[in-house]
Chain A
Amino acid sequence: MTVPILNASGCLDALAAPETARSLDAFVTKTVTPLPREGNPPPRITETQRGMLNSIGLQNPGIDVFAQETLPLLATLGVPVWVSVGGFSAADYALLCERLDDLDDVEVIELNLSCPNVEEAPEAVSELVAAARGATGKPLYAKLSPATWDIAETARAVSDAGADGLSLVNTIRGLELDAKTLRPKLGLGSGGYSGPALRPIALACVYACARAVELPIVGMGGVMSGRDALELVAVGANAVALGTVLFSDPSAPSRVRRELEAEARSRGHGLLAEIRAVAHESASPSGASTD
């Protein structure tokens, strides 16, 4: 078993950085919406403690331009393409999935059910997944927000609604003030918090969902190294996606893959399969040490 390395949606433009895209096991697009979106007014990003905030606002050309112009170019890269879609109603998700259903270049559809920077659809995520399920036979991954009281319950609901996998997790809403003016640094106030601060939150979410459902999980949130990726696998992820780390290091996929394999070997595991979900087994006495 190997652990596929993906990018987190919105963290890589495969056409601007084709070499980075080719170093992934699958490329996940920036979220596509039914209509074009200009996105949010700048400033859109700021560094903060242990992470960064972004408020991009799903800037994208809309499904028509994406399907006609962007997707054919992405297909030439030779990397499986996962298309992230987002909408504002169940009908939007159905429309997007129907539009992608007969396109051979689409390997997986990821449902962005959790962008913190746009008004969310009023329906429950399970209704959105059900609407998407009715519109396509493609594999559907539901990308969930960590900002929920009981993510395992959400995971069960989207599993029942027909999701084929989970992407865990999206960013969580955060806010940073300018030290001098005490006004928000981002144009729209708050933004999505990502980076190392998100990692323990992502671990908790993957841990909870791996216990609740049988679905494969793409784990993501603050992965900077192979060690971080290994921990997501240990709590139950089948694949790992890189987000913020790509901004500082476009060669991160190859590095993280190399480090992940070295981490597994150094723990005496020739096979990463031996590590998958190991965190759910009862700890050995030696594991109770306080470091």
Chain B
Amino acid sequence: MAPLPLTRELLQVVGTELIGPYALLRLERGGLDPGVPGQFFMLEAPGRLLPRPMSLCQAPARELAFLIEAIGPGTEALCSLRVGDAIHVLGPLGNGFDLDIERPLLVAGGIGVAPMPYLSKALGDPPALLGFRTARHAEAASLLPGAEVVVEPRLVTELLPDDPGDVLACGPEPMLEAVKALVPGAQLAWEAPMACGYGACYGCVVEVDGHYERLCISGPVLRDAA
């Protein structure tokens, strides 16, 4: 199948909001498609050479919203954006979640909550389990009303029922590995450092069936792998 054309536009910031330690960055949508939940966009980080990959958090009318945790110079630059600033955005990219499922259960840890609001809306607000490091991080649970929330030392995997149904998960690698072990066939959204997001650099590989595959093209959502 031929890849879809890449779309990249200069988009204005229309709003920023602090949610606990995270920033919700709202951009005008321009001509970009919001894509499938779990797909991602490459966001220009002002002053940095490389853009940063972010999954879509919300898709309000004529907007794209991203939840960002400042963990380095690129994400700090993104969190410092002000209304009226403009950044280049490329996307949507990669493979999102398969929504053709019977009994969805969303599971997220930390900043892995980012794609869940958009995913939840697409699936009609299914049950959700969220885990966070601290109560302050857990403020992000407000993005997903009705979710069951735990804070460390409790782990989100403790909340998984015996028959969890169709699990769609995003979070840190140890959490995803734990979900994978507990729920064979779960859809897992991974992350990796990416230079380009569209298959050019071979920087974001993960091991799939004994081979290195580009996460930006084969993922970021993988089922039973990585």
Contact = CB atoms under 8 A, between A and B. Distances in A.
Interface of A: 10-13, 15-20, 30, 38-39, 42-47, 50-52, 54, 56, 59, 195-196, 244, 246-251
Q: Helix, strand, loop or mixed for chain B's interface?
A: loop
24 contacts: A10-B201, A13-B198, A13-B199, A16-B3, A17-B199, A17-B200, A18-B2, A19-B5, A19-B6, A42-B192, A42-B193, A42-B203, A44-B204, A45-B194, A46-B193, A52-B195, A56-B202, A56-B203, A59-B205, A247-B50, A247-B200, A248-B44, A248-B50, A250-B6
Contact of A44 (B199, B205, B217): B205
A45 B201 contact: yes
Given A47-B74, A52-B49, A59-B212, A247 B195 contact: yes
Contacts of B90: 250
Contact of A17 (B192, B198, B212): B198
Interface in B45-74: 48-51, 73-74
A42 B169 CA distance: 22
What's the interface size class on B, roughly? 20 to 34
Contacts, number: 100
Interface string B97-131: 00000000000000000000000000000000000
A15 B2 CA distance: 8
B205 A54 contact: no
Contacts of A251: 6, 8
Contacts of A20: 6
Contacts of B42: 248
A247 B217 CA distance: 14
Given A39-B212, A52-B49, A16 B195 contact: no
A11 B49 contact: no
Interface of B: 2-3, 5-6, 8, 42, 44, 48-51, 73-74, 88, 90, 192-196, 198-206, 211-212, 217
Given A17-B6, A44-B202, A248-B44, A54 B195 contact: yes
Nearest to A54: B203
Contacts of A39: 202, 205, 212
Contact of B8 (A10, A11, A250): A250
B203 to A, nearest CB: 3
A43 B193 contact: yes
B70 to A, nearest CB: 14
A262 to B, nearest CB: 19
Contacts of A50: 49
A11 B199 CA distance: 9
B182 to A, nearest CB: 25
A40 to B, nearest CB: 9
A72 to B, nearest CB: 15
A19 B192 CA distance: 25
Given A10-B202, A42-B204, A45-B193, 6 more contacts: A12-B200, A44-B203, A47-B49, A47-B50, A246-B196, A248-B196
A248 B198 contact: no
Contacts of A10: 201-202
B109 to A, nearest CB: 21
B48 A47 contact: yes
Nearest to B51: A248
Contacts of A196: 49
